Amino acid sequence: MLVNKLLRYGIVPLASFGILTSTEASLDLLAGVEAGIETDTSMTSSDLEQTQQVLSTEAVGSRHYWVNENTGNAYEIIIDHNYSYGHYPCLAYELSITKGNFTETKSLDACKNSSGQWISITPAATAL
């Protein structure tokens, strides 16, 4: 199952010799995109950039918090642990989204693709 998810999101296992087309690449869900799809807490492009930055720079166990001034939504990412799939770095993290008095927390996973972007590999990402 994990191999199929990784293939769908542009991460090719070492045993595969496929070439990704630009159409396939455009279907990638950046880490964080799936958060809030079902609610009015969906991330803006600046939130997605912030998520990419946090996943690329923060250490395991660290917390990073920000508020989107335009939407009023608050986000917190806690990096749980790193792991790898083949030669692709992956990590598990927790994302909390707060809007008003409502907080939604999700446990998510992402792997860094060959373009250097963190791509979601969670079941929610298959909702394309």
Domain count, the chain: 1
Q: Are β-strands 102-112 and 63-67 bridged in parallel, bridged antiparallel, or unpaired?
A: unpaired
Instruction: Using the predicted structure, report yes or no on whether residue 61 has a pLDDT greater than 60.
Output: yes
Read off the pLDDT band of 3 (50, 70, 90).
very low
Range of the domain at 24: 2-127
| Stretch among 8-17, 28-37, 66-75, 94-103 having the lowest mean pLDDT | 8-17
Averaged pLDDT for residues 47-69: 92
- Return the sign of the alpha-carbon dihedral for residues 4, 12, 21, 19: negative
Instruction: Using the predicted structure, report yes or no on whether residue 36 has a pLDDT greater than 80.
Output: no
CB 97 within 8 A of CB 41: yes
Neighbours of 34 (CB within 10 A): 22
Among 13, 47, 16, residue whose Cα is nearest residue 30:
47
Read off the pLDDT band of 38 (50, 70, 90).
low
pTM exceeding 0.85: no
Instruction: Using the predicted structure, report yes or no on whether residue 73 has a pLDDT greater than 60.
Output: yes
Strands of 88-99's sheet in order across: 63-67, 74-85, 88-99, 102-112, 118-120
Among 35, 20, 4, 24, residue whose Cα is nearest residue 125:
35
> What letter represents residue 66's amino acid?
W
Read off the pLDDT band of 90 (50, 70, 90).
very high
Read off the pLDDT band of 75 (50, 70, 90).
very high
